[in-house]
């Protein structure tokens, strides 16, 4: 008797955001604000608290340390070569 193999779920690339309590949109927003506007971690904590997101400044520091290289790599293909017109 031939058994039909059970279909396996597709194996995807694991997201860099798996295991975090906050959604990726919140993490990316916080890291982007920090990098773009040069805010302190405590200022960033206060801005997020005004929007109803309670995050500690140490958590923001860890997010920036972990996700800044990912944002840099994501932005790299968009950069133009010098003298490329």
For residue 21, CA distances in Å to 12, 37, 53, 59, 85 come to 21, 25, 12, 11, 44
The mean pLDDT value of the chain amounts to: 83
Tens digit of pLDDT for each residue in 71-82?
Answer: 888 777 766 667
> In this predicted model, what pLDDT tens digit does every residue of 3-37 receive, in sequence order?
666 666 555 545 777 888 899 999 999 999 999 99
Residue 28 CA to residue 23 CA, distance in Å, equals 9
């Amino acid at each position: 008797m031939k058994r039909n193999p059970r279909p396996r779920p597709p194996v995807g690339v694991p997201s860099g955001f798996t295991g975090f309590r906050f959604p990726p949109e919140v993490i990316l927003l916080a890291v982007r604000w920090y990098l773009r506007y040069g805010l302190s971690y405590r200022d960033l904590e206060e801005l997020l608290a005004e929007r109803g997101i309670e995050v500690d400044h140490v958590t923001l520091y860890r997010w920036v340390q972990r996700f800044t290289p990912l944002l840099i790599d994501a932005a790299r293909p968009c950069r133009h070569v010098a003298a490329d017109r």
